[in-house]
Amino acid sequence: MNKYKPVVKFIFTFLAVYGLMSFAYSYYLNAAKSGMYFPDYLTNLVAHQSETLLNGLGYDAKVLPHPDEPSMKMLVNNKYVARVIEGCNGASVIILFVAFVVAFSDKFKPTFIYIFSGAVLIYAVNLIRIVVLAIGLYHYPWREELLHSVIFPGMIYGMVFLLWMFWVKRFSDNKVKDEN
């Protein structure tokens, strides 16, 4: 059993952190339902920041609360192109990233800095993903399935995977150095 102790520790730590953060996020979403923001504040923020970026790129973008569901309608040049829903805000991806890094961590300070930096990078790339997706849906609406379901999730999860691999490599290198 001692042979598998690091693996078991990783799995339990990952599940505990992921479960705790997911529970807290779910609590936040439920609280947002009864609050001022519909959808939640983070989804609103991501939608409005995407709108700002699109406008900065020369498009006439607008986001409006959807009247029937917890989402924001995104219009580009007065054409409805997408809904920004809770799943678009990147929070779930960041939770997954954080749980892995914490489960594979050793020292607090480098872990905290990496989590903070990685979360900011994931958030920024997610905004860019939404903007490019909106532009793609505006110009190529017949490619919606490919853009939304394959290319853009692949980009965000691929980046998270690379961040994880960088963290493992960095962590593993430090472990080897510490053992010598």
Q: Report which secondary-structure segment, H or E, holds 43.
A: helix 41-56
Dmax over CA atoms of the chain, in Å, equals 63
Q: Is the pLDDT of residue 166 over 80?
A: yes
Neighbours of 67 (CB within 10 A): 6
Please, which pLDDT band fits residue 18 given cuts at 50, 70 and 90? very high
Query: Minimum mean pLDDT among 41-45, 85-89, 155-159, 170-174: which range?
Result: 170-174
CA dihedral 96, 97, 100, 101 (to 10 degrees): -150
**Which range of residues forms the domain containing residue 51?**
2-179
Please tell me the predicted confidence (pLDDT) of residue 180. 45
Please, which pLDDT band fits residue 63 given cuts at 50, 70 and 90? very high
Task: Collect all residues with Cβ–Cβ distance below 8 Å to 32 and sequence separation of at least 6.
Answer: 38, 39, 40, 41
Neighbours of 82 (CB within 10 A): 25
134: exposed, middle or buried (Cβ count in 10 Å: 0-12, 13-18, 19+): buried
Domain count, the chain: 1
